[in-house]
Amino acid sequence: MDPATKTRYHPLRMHSEFVENWVPSLDAGEVARGYVYYPAPADDVTSVTVEAERIGQVAGIPVF
C-alpha cells in the first residue's frame, strides 16, 4: 500500500498463479527469504507499506 495515496498494489499473476516463492511455516527464531512481485508504484513513490496475513502492516519499505 502506498501510504501517501492509499493505493493498494496486488501481487502479479502469471496465468492463474501468483509470481512468488513458497515460504514454509517457521518456528520462533527461524528465518527464510521470500519474494513476491508487485507492479511498480508511481515514479514519485519513495516507500510503501506491506500488509500480510498474520504479520499485519510493515511500513516504510523503501522503493528504489
Quick: pLDDT tens for 22-61.
Answer: 666 778 888 877 777 778 888 988 888 888 777 788 899 8
Quick: pLDDT tens for 5-23.
Answer: 888 777 767 667 665 666 6
Residue 45 and residue 64 in contact, taking contact as beta carbons nearer than 8 Å: no
| Cα–Cα distance, 31 to 4 (Å, whole number) | 30
- pLDDT for 23 equals 66
Give the pairing of strands 17-18 and 13-14: antiparallel
Number of H helices, E strands in the chain: 0, 4
Between the CA of residue 20 and those of 1, 15, 36, 38, what are the distances in Å?
18, 13, 4, 10
